[in-house]
């Protein structure tokens, strides 16, 4: 074996644990990092996701490292949560 036999460009869970956006199903996911965590920003719907130990959850932009997608991520996050805020006591 010369080591090249296992190289592939196909998606693999070790290389890209999130193959599609849970919200819009786009495969246009950009990894963003703060040197400690890696999140995946969807360029189609502007939502950011974190994958860890087989679970996927939406990143609250108030807790992230504020990458270059921060403004669009915040806008999408607050648009999704507007009814939660309006119905709060």
pLDDT in tens, 16-75: 678 899 999 999 999 998 778 889 999 999 999 999 888 999 999 988 878 899 999 999
- The reported pLDDT for the residue numbered 84 is 57
Please report whether residue 36 resides in a domain. Answer: yes
DSSP letter at 58 equals E
- Domain total for the chain? 1
Please report whether residue 5 resides in a domain. Answer: no
Distance CA 83, CA 89 (A): 12
Range of the domain at 65: 26-86
Please name which of 82, 72, 86, 69 lies closest in space to residue 31, comparing C-alpha atoms: 69
Which DSSP string corresponds to 5-55?
GG---S--TTT-S--S-TTT----EEEEE-SS-EEEEETTT--EEEEETTE
Tens digits of per-residue pLDDT, 2-21?
555 545 455 545 556 788 99
Of residues 75 and 89, more confidently modeled: 75
Token reading at 56: 């996927």
Tens digits of per-residue pLDDT, 78-87?
999 887 555 5
């Amino acid at each position: 074996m010369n080591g090249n036999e296992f190289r592939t460009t196909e998606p693999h869970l070790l290389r890209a644990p999130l193959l599609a956006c849970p919200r819009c199903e786009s495969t246009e996911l950009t990894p963003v990092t703060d040197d400690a965590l890696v999140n995946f920003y969807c360029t189609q719907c502007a939502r950011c996701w974190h994958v860890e130990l087989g679970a996927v959850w939406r990143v609250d932009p108030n807790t992230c490292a504020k990458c270059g997608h921060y403004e669009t991520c915040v806008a999408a996050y607050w648009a999704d949560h507007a009814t939660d805020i309006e119905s709060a006591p």
